[in-house]
Structure 1
Amino acid sequence: MTPVAPIRFGLIGVDSPHAPSFTRLFGNGSDGVVPGGTVTHAWKGEPASDFPLSRDRIDAFTDEVSGLGVTLCGSPEEVAEACDALLIVSSDARTHPRYFERVVRFGKPVYVDTRFAPTLAEARTMLAQAQASGTLVLAGSPKRFTPEFQAALTGGPYHSASLDGPLPTQPGHPGLAWYGVHLVDLAVAALGAGPETVTVDAGRPGTPGGATTVRVQWGDGREVAMTGEAAWSPFTMGRIESEGGCSEFSIEAGPPMLVGLLEGIVNSVRSGIPNVPLREILSIVAIVEAANKSLEAGRPVPLSPN
């Protein structure tokens, strides 16, 4: 039997710790923690002056990725030409629609890391571009693919969930747009796409010591409550309830948390099946956008259908 060649992945934007972590976990494609893929090329990206996490870390991460044997390219298009699949891992979500547009025409699978797009309109445009070019779209928070969370999804169908995790913000990423998106992803993974209303009924994320609760309601009465504080911590916990009982989970952030995501990406590229249903991608973006509007307006915000 002829060995299957590892998938050659290319990084688009390396101002995130996921860039070197993904590279290390894949290794050479055969004996890494996650076999089946290897990172061969990368494009540094364009950091925004108003986003310190990008501006102040991109050079160090670029050197780290290069030191791991990855070839640096002068453009995302050059990476797309050299690779089998692409990983948009830039930390600034505002760059994702623009970077996606530059590489989607190559028709190669594209993973967009955690924060798919800042707005529902941009997400819809990205998915339309992918459909036009026959591009497989991959997405999702790494927390969704952890064994801890997956083990909690063995019952179902679920009617409610309570999730707790950090809700810090960053410039240009208000409300749930920075870290809260992880909780939103878990909520949609558990209860599905198509929620109808979002309400923020506590303190504002980013306020020192301010805890926040975000409630997401589905039309049939299902509900998720997401709670967190402005200070970051590595732990995300939850309780998911169904008619048959409840399950609990706890996830700790760190490189091992990324393994399930990368294994799923390899499987999706091989099979051509999205790792996250497209309707769920849209629901996640819509919830984040509506939650930020609810924070500003101080009232429940209806979600646009997707």
Structure 2
Amino acid sequence: MSLINRLLLLLLACAAPLPATPSDLPLKVGLIGLDTSHVIAFTGLLNDKDNPSHVPGATVTAAYRGGSVDIPASINRVRGFTTTLTEKYGVRIYEDIAKMCEEVDAILLTSLDGRTHLEQVRPVLAAGKPVFIDKPVAGSLKDAVKIFQLAEDAGVPCFSSSSLRWYPGVVEVATADFGELRAALSYGPATSEPHHPSLFWYGIHAAEALFTVMGPGCQSVVATESSGAIVVTGKWNNERIGTLHGIRDGKTSFKVTAFGTKAIVEQKSGGNYAPMLREIVKFFQTGKPPVPAKLTLELYAFMEAADESVRQGGTPISIPDYLRRHGQTR
């Protein structure tokens, strides 16, 4: 071989793209619970590079079916969503969560039924896989506290949130120049499910938007309820008031409004799952939860204590006391 040919081969070799390293490849993600439309939406955004809102960095490769026989909205949808995931996206189905964890880098715990989350997350934590838990984080505040305690003890990153926390319109309200915040009002649909505290099922979205604006520090809640609505008023530190209006019957929509010393700021736009998924992928990559467990537990205490207030005829419920009574000691 001539010297010129050798030089040409050397130049071609130098110009060739380097093989992908493990850090360049998308993270492999496993789903737990194929009984919610979220699994199709999340997988489409992560796996489909042609999706206008594609979120890079992770790919759904595996799944565990799950499903709760006593919730028709859960068990009746597992087969259809499983078919879509396997046939459209090539997702592999596992019959055992622990086995699936051996094949993936991170977990999206998407089971519709929050009651299943505590037991389903145990093998994930044992495997040391970072996990995002879709709403509701659990079927009760007591279980939610236990989940975060187990994650902390195992040293495994874990967080939960509604997608509304990252809706551009909600973020614009939370970050607006309204001066000192005096109050906030959030409304949205709040249909309930009999196996869960009444706001866990769908009221979580409007509640998450409220807490996105208000932040931590809720001290007490008072709630009243009719067949068409539930209204929860929380008193925060520094004399701030946060109100959730959950719509049980009638036309529904989402909106959060901040009341400040300089301005009243109303939500102008909505959003989709993509901003939350970007935060989830970043979380999987860094191990740093974007929402602290303490804030999530305060939010769930707010919702569960609202039912307690209703049962007691509108009695104010102390949030710090309620958290302690349901297992929070850290």
Q: Is the 8 A contact 2:31 2:64 kept in 1?
A: yes
- 2:174 — aligned with what? 153
Matched, 1:10 2:30: yes
In 2, are the aligned partners of 1:238 and 1:249 still within 8 Å (CA)?
A: yes
State the shift of 1:264 in Å.
0.5
Cα deviation, 1:190-248, whole Å, max 9, x if unaligned, reads 21223111111241xxx3xx122111111331111111321476631110122232221
Structure 2 unaligned blocks of 5 or more: 1-17
Assess if the C-alpha contact under 8 Å between 1:166 and 1:232 holds in 2.
no
Matched, 1:224 2:239: no
Hey, what's the Cα distance between the residues in 1 that align with 2:269 and 2:220?
Answer: 27
Partner Cα distance (2:240, 2:301) in 1: 17
Contact 2:229 / 2:249 at 8 angstroms: preserved in 1?
Answer: no
Local SS of the residue matching 1:82: coil
Output the CA distance in 1 between the equivalents of 2:64 and 2:35: 10
Looking at structure 2, the residues matched to 257 and 234 of structure 1 have their Cα atoms a distance apart, in angstroms, of: 17
TM-score, normalising length: structure 1: 0.90
Q: Kindly state the Cα deviation for residue 28 of structure 1 after the two structures are TM-superposed.
A: 5.3
Instruction: Give the Cα separation in 2 of the matches to 1:139 and 1:123.
Output: 10
Deviations 1:17-52 (A, max 9, x none): 00111111101579771111110000001x323211
Once the two structures are TM-superposed, the CA of residue 300 in structure 1 deviates from its matched residue by 2.1
Equivalent position of 2:81 in the other structure: 61
- State the alpha-carbon separation in 1 of the partners of residues 139 and 312 from structure 2: 18
* 1:51-88 Cα distance to aligned partner (Å, 9 max, x none): 11102111111112112211101111122111111000
Q: Is the 8 A contact 1:217 1:224 kept in 2?
A: yes
Report which of the two structures shows the higher radius of gyration computed on alpha carbons: 2
Is the aligned partner of 1:130 residue 2:151? yes
- Native 8 Å contact 1:188 1:283 kept in 2: no
Question: In 1, distance between residues paired with 2:276 and 2:251?
Answer: 21
Is 1:106 the counterpart of 2:124? The answer is no
In structure 2, give the amino acid aligned to 1:7: L
Gaps of 5+ in 1: none
- Equivalent residue, structure 2, for 1:302: 318
SS in 2 for 1:173: coil
1:75 alignment partner in structure 2: 96
**Alpha-carbon distance between aligned partners in 1 of 2:248 and 2:125, rounded to the nearest angstrom:** 35
Q: Which residue of 2 aligns with 1:177?
A: 200
Measure how far apart 1:97 and its partner are.
Answer: 1.2
Indicate the SS of the match to 1:239: strand
**Aligned partners of 1:250, 1:83: CA distance in 2, in Å?**
39
Q: TM-score, normalised by structure 2?
A: 0.84
Q: Distance in 2 between matches of 1:251 and 1:44?
A: 34
Deviations for 1:109-149, whole angstroms, at most 9, x for unmatched residues?
A: 10000211232322221112111221111210001111111
Alpha-carbon spacing, 1:233–1:36, altered in 2? closer, same or farther (3 Å): farther
CA RMSD of aligned residues (A): 2.1
Contact 1:29-1:36 within 8 A present in 2 as well: no
Cα offset for 1:250? Answer: 4.7
What's 1:191 paired with? 214
Query: Could you say what secondary structure the match of 2:174 adopts?
Result: coil
- % identity of equivalent residues: 29
> Which AA in structure 1 matches 2:27?
I
C-alpha separation in 1, matches of 2:278 and 2:134? 14
Number of equivalenced pairs:
297
Deviation string, structure 1 residues 157-215 (Cα, Å, up to 9, x no partner): 53310111011112312421211111221222221223111111241xxx3xx122111
